[in-house]
Amino acid sequence: MRKIKVRLGINSYDIYIGSGLLMQTGRQLKEYGFAGKLVIITNPIVKRLYGNALKQSLTREGFKVTVLQVPDGEEQKSLEVAGRLYNELTDFYSERTTPILALGGGVIGDLTGFVAATYLRGVPLIQIPTTLLAQVDSSIGGKVAVNHGRLKNKIGAFYQPRLVISDISTLRSLPTKEFIGGLAEVIKSAVIGDEELFAYLERNLDQIKSLDDRALETIVFRSAKIKAEVVEKDERDFGLRNILNYGHTVGHAIESVSDFKVQHGEAVAIGMLAAARISNKLGLLDKNELIRLKGIIARAGLPTEFPNLQLESLIQAIRHDKKILQGKVRFVLPKSIGNVFITDEASLSLVERVLVNWNGET
C-alpha cells in the first residue's frame, strides 16, 4: 500500500493506493475518527461488483450503512439528481459529521462530491474511486460539479475529500476501453511532470495492460502524486493547475464535434499529440520526444490517427473555446517529457496547419 499526503492546510488529506483496500475501509475510517452512520452513493454497476465488500467491511467495524443509488451515466451529473439525493439523505442522514462515501468512477465522484459540498453546507466526503481515470485524476483535488444545460462541470465547488481510498483491484472489472481511456490520463501525468513515470510506462506497458498489481500500484501512485503536487500549489485553479489540461484543448474540440462518439481518453490522446506537434513546430520539443510520445500512445491502445471529423468544425470549436485570445489559443505545450508550460502564443493558423497535415507527420 502507498500513501500520499495532500498538503492543503486545514483541508489536507491522505490518499491510499493499494490492492484489497476496499476490505479495510471500515478499519481505516475508524482510525480517522469516524463512527456511527454513513452513506454510500454509487451506481448499480459498481454496487453489484463492490457494494457488498465495502458494506461488509464497514458493518464489521460497527458502522450503520445506507446505500443510495443513481443510474449509470454522465447525464446523472445534474441538479435534478442532486436534488433527489438531498431528499433521500434527509430520510437517512443523522449529523453533519456523518460521512458520504463516493463509490464509483468520476461521474459518481463529481456528483457525490457536489452533494457533500452543498448538503447542510458541507459534510465529510470520502472518495473511493473505481476507475483508472478517477484514481489518477478526478478523485483528487476537490473539483466537484454537475452539468447544467450547456455548462459542463460548471456548477460546482472546490471541496476537498477527507480521504481517498484507491483500491487498484477494482480496476480488474473495468471494461478494457475504460481502462485504456484512463491510461491517457496516466500518460498526461507523465508528460506534465514525471519523466521517470514515462520511462516506466515504456518499460512496463505490457504488465500494466495485463493488470499486474505492482505495475498498477506504481502508475496510480505516481500519477496521483503529480496531481496532488499541482493541486497543492494551485488549489483554486488560478494558474498552474491549467497544466492538467494538457491535451484537452484539441481533445475537448474532438469530443464535442464528434458528439462524444470519440471517447474522452481517445480525444485527449490525439490532443496530447497535437500539442506536442505544435511545440515541435515552434522549435521547443525535440523530434525524438515526439516519437516517444506517439509510441507510448499507440502501445497503450489509444489512437494516433486523426478521427474522421470536419476540420472546419474542429477549428470552430477550438475558436469558441474560452481559452482563445486575439487569434491565439491557450495551450499547454511540452518542452520535453516531464516538463510543460502554458502559452498563449500558439496561433490558430499553426494549430490548423498541424491538424491539416496530420497524416504526413511523425
Ligand X SMILES: NC(=O)c1ccc[n+]([C@@H]2O[C@H](COP(=O)([O-])OP(=O)(O)OC[C@H]3O[C@@H](n4cnc5c(N)ncnc54)[C@H](O)[C@@H]3O)[C@@H](O)[C@H]2O)c1
- Cα dihedral sign for 244, 246, 248, 251? negative
Binding status of residue 216 toward ligand X by CB under 6 A = no
Binding status of residue 41 toward ligand X by CB under 6 A = no
Which stretches within 168-247 are classed as H helix? Answer: 176-193, 195-209, 213-233
**Binding region for ligand X (CB under 6 A) out of 14-22, 127-135, 309-317, 319-327:** 127-135
Distance of CA 2 to the CA centre of its chain: 19
Q: Which residues of 261-299 are buried (b: 16+ CB within 10 A; e: fewer)?
A: ebbbbbbbbbbbbbbbbbbbbbebbeeebbebbbebbee
Binding status of residue 74 toward ligand X by CB under 6 A = yes
Judged by CB, which is closer to ligand X: 160, or 280? 160
Binding status of residue 249 toward ligand X by CB under 6 A = no
**Binding region for ligand X (CB under 6 A) out of 24-32, 170-178, 232-240, 313-321:** 170-178
Among 106, 193, 271, 338, binds ligand X (CB under 6 A): 106
Binding status of residue 49 toward ligand X by CB under 6 A = yes
Instruction: Name which of 241, 242, 245 is nearest 230 in CA terms.
Output: 241
Q: Least distance to ligand X from the beta carbon of 193, Å?
A: 16
Write down the residue that cell numbers 470549436 correspond to: 317
Distance between the two ends of the chain, CA-based, in angstroms? 39
Q: How far apart are CA 323 and CA 331, in angstroms?
A: 8
Q: How many CB atoms lie within 10 A of CB 152?
A: 15
Q: Least distance to ligand X from the beta carbon of 244, Å?
A: 8
Binding status of residue 173 toward ligand X by CB under 6 A = yes
**Binding region for ligand X (CB under 6 A) out of 2-10, 172-180, 275-283, 284-292:** 172-180
Q: Least distance to ligand X from the beta carbon of 320, Å?
A: 19
What residue ranges bind ligand X (CB under 6 A)?
Answer: 43, 45-46, 49, 72, 74, 77, 104-108, 110, 130-131, 133-134, 137-138, 141, 143, 153, 170, 173-174, 178
